[in-house]
Chains A and B, each alone.
Chain A
């Protein structure tokens, strides 16, 4: 188990990369640190490894406080984004290097390196230098080197970002199977939400050195706790539309929508952000109640579907506070064959059971105490 308590890292010059962060990662868990660049996720991983010393707070691995322990004695293995394979050593020597540091006899460490390499289908490449390997092979050598020293935890820094797009999918499946087989606690850093959702048992979404939400991939995808998480997770960004409570319903981008149960406690005139994923928006060519009326501005082909961007004109009368003066933009994903023509007038109806309502940037839930905020 890896636990972090009140962890803060400030760099000289006052930049706070990690801000009073608490986190618990369970044994055997595949855990993703997800966030945009500069959110502190790599610094957090390096602090767990011991390559950075926290300004305040504690790091514990397996119940032992390792805050002051040098990286080599934490019993973790790290795979770097550039793999950091030693270019002057062949594959065997690279994999055996951690064992060499632990003074394992030469014959034994070579045997163990060969065994680990065989497991990762590297048996034919043992005599090669890293420069003679493809990106995918280099990644597997880096993994083999981490596995060969049987650590208590793996730390991966952007493990897939140096691979080209097609290989990345293959490596992702491989990595997931490997982690499941080894059942070793693994923390990895990524800026790719798809990678985090696909690989991890749990995801921590980070921004500005803080954790915005921790949850299973399903939780952070279906019920993002804030508009930041909502906009960051999902291959097409969620529609986040400003609206307000008016006359027992919601007034959003010119449409009158029924008041969701979780927003029942809000007073008349309260400002909200209405969120719905483009996948949960249905288009129809005829007017419908509870739908946004707009014109097709952009059509993007996603292969088996189309991403349709609608321009919804500014409504008559007073628009809700915070809405754009020129109207709103609503996106919908339409299955192949059903896409409208460019410039066509269409009505976009959100599926209300999938919609999320944010008040003061907090997701409203059905629990009555929360709704009363």
Chain B
């Protein structure tokens, strides 16, 4: 009898655990579910419901003069920033990993600390001021340079760890065979840390793609605004969020990043073990 009671207690505990996790799971999956159903609903609301299937929302968003163009702008800005970040971070991390610089680690930590302040909300006024004087307002270059500046320290920090984990004998071997510094970087160092470079590139793209405040402040011209900023303009004349446009655009806006993740992870494979190291 006591065995049966213990069994019943065990069952109750298990049911409790499952109920708890179901609630947590529902909490996080409902927004995803909304994103999957609302764009196809004739009358989308902020609740999740079985949609009255229609593609009219997509037709409406394609009629918006800025919607598709903004995704192109996002691609330009995110791609440009990723290119700048990967190129500069790879060369800087290689140098920092291979050359003895006094106080190197302190320098890296200070950079990392400052970067979160420099491109944070607190620095918006000076950044706007600087961009105005350099005529970088309303340019893709302005956005690319500013966001790259913010991402670089963390990218250098992570890539330096990848470089440190690569034995120097590969490069020394190439040196003895007569390879110059640029050949060593391109033939040996870069291919060896390719998973790290892919990780940094994806991380940079995702960061810029989802970034709003900087882009909102630096870009006034809706022709050049990225998707995140255009998303903010989808209101009805009454000042209410236009849920049919918003939901359809949200789906279009999130698809490229999902596709990129899938592509890069099948092609290169993310190698995060214990956070950073390969």
Residues of A at under 8 Å CB distance from B? 49-51, 70-74, 76-78, 80-82, 84, 86-88, 97-98, 101-102, 149
- Which one of B177, B178, B179 has the greatest number of beta carbons of chain A within 10 Å? B177
B191 contacts the other chain (CB 8 A): yes
Contact residues in A for B167 (Cβ distance below 8 Å): 82, 84
The listed residue (B170, B175, B188, B191) touching A51 by CB distance below 8 A is B175
Q: Which residue of A lies closest to B166 (CB)?
A: A87
Q: Which residue of A lies closest to B183 (CB)?
A: A101
A350 CA to B169 CA in the complex, in Å? 48
Is the Cβ of B174 less than 8 Å from the Cβ of A97?
A: yes
Contact residues in B for A76 (Cβ distance below 8 Å): 176
B164 contacts the other chain (CB 8 A): no
A243 CA to B220 CA in the complex, in Å? 96
Q: Mark contacts of B18-53 with chain A using CB atoms, 8 A cut-off: 1 yes-contact digit, 0 otherwise.
A: 000000000000000000000000000000000000
Residues of B at under 8 Å CB distance from A? 167, 169-170, 172-180, 183, 187-188, 191-192, 194
* Known interface pairs A80-B169, A86-B170; A102-B192 also in contact (CB < 8 Å): no
Is the Cβ of B177 less than 8 Å from the Cβ of A77?
A: yes
Main DSSP-derived SS at the A contact region = loop
Known: A72-B180, A88-B192. 5 other contacts (CB 8 A): A78-B173, A82-B169, A88-B191, A101-B177, A101-B178
Is the Cβ of B170 less than 8 Å from the Cβ of A84?
A: yes
The listed residue (B174, B176, B183) touching A50 by CB distance below 8 A is B176
* Known interface pairs A87-B192, A88-B192; A80-B175 also in contact (CB < 8 Å): no
* Known interface pairs A84-B169, A84-B170, A86-B188; A101-B179 also in contact (CB < 8 Å): yes
Contact residues in A for B169 (Cβ distance below 8 Å): 80-82, 84
A-B contact count (CB 8 A): 56
A78 CA to B173 CA in the complex, in Å? 7
Which 3 residue pairs are nearest across A and B when measured between Cβ atoms? A72-B178, A84-B173, A98-B177
A237 CA to B160 CA in the complex, in Å? 46
A70 CA to B194 CA in the complex, in Å? 28
A70 CA to B184 CA in the complex, in Å? 14
Contact residues in A for B176 (Cβ distance below 8 Å): 49-51, 71-72, 74, 76-78
A88 CA to B169 CA in the complex, in Å? 15
Is the Cβ of A51 less than 8 Å from the Cβ of B172?
A: yes
- Which one of B169, B174, B176, B183 has the greatest number of beta carbons of chain A within 10 Å? B176
Q: Which residue of B lies closest to A78 (CB)?
A: B176
Is the Cβ of A149 less than 8 Å from the Cβ of B177?
A: yes
Q: Provide 13 A-B residue pairs closer than 8 Å at the C-beta atoms, listed in order of the A residue.
A: A51-B175, A71-B178, A72-B176, A73-B178, A80-B172, A82-B167, A82-B169, A84-B170, A86-B188, A88-B194, A98-B177, A101-B179, A101-B183
Contact residues in A for B177 (Cβ distance below 8 Å): 72, 77, 97-98, 101, 149
A170 CA to B45 CA in the complex, in Å? 76
Tell me, rounded to whole Å, the shortest Cβ–Cβ distance linking B192 to chain A: 7
Contact residues in A for B183 (Cβ distance below 8 Å): 101
Tell me, rounded to whole Å, the shortest Cβ–Cβ distance linking A47 to chain B: 13
A81 CA to B167 CA in the complex, in Å? 12
Q: Which residue of B lies closest to A50 (CB)?
A: B176
Is the Cβ of A72 less than 8 Å from the Cβ of B170?
A: no
A78 CA to B187 CA in the complex, in Å? 18
